[in-house]
């Protein structure tokens, strides 16, 4: 398992509390890259595709993520559930 205490470790932020989704990769207090978009089809598909694009833009992999923060509300139940379930899946 990778040492997640290094300076290269990234933090992932997920917000799906509305019809818009946003993702951000941070290193400490610095935002490395972020994306926000209107969810047009299926939130789970769009969220995972957005994450892959975010990681590619940052030149990172899922293994580089040290921690995940996810919005828990208030917001639309289905969209929040998608963000939380995605964060839980990534954490595993």
Is it the case that residue 5 has pLDDT exceeding 50? no
First to last CA, the chain: 13
pLDDT tens-place string over residues 36-68: 999 888 888 899 999 999 999 999 999 999 999
| Res 22: pLDDT | 95
pLDDT tens-place string over residues 11-27: 999 999 988 999 999 99
Is it the case that residue 1 has pLDDT exceeding 70? no
Q: How far is CA 77 from CA 8, 18, 31, 35, in A?
A: 34, 9, 27, 22
Using pLDDT thresholds of 50, 70 and 90, give the confidence band for residue 4.
Answer: very low
């Amino acid at each position: 398992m990778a040492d997640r205490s290094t300076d290269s470790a990234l933090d992932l932020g997920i917000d799906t509390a509305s019809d818009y989704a946003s993702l951000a990769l941070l290193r400490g207090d610095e935002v490395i890259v972020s994306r926000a978009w209107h969810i047009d089809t299926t939130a789970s598909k769009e969220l995972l595709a957005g994450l892959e694009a975010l990681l590619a833009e940052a030149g990172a992999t899922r293994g580089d993520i040290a921690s995940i923060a996810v919005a828990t509300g208030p917001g639309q139940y289905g969209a929040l559930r998608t963000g939380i379930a995605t964060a839980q899946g990534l954490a595993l």
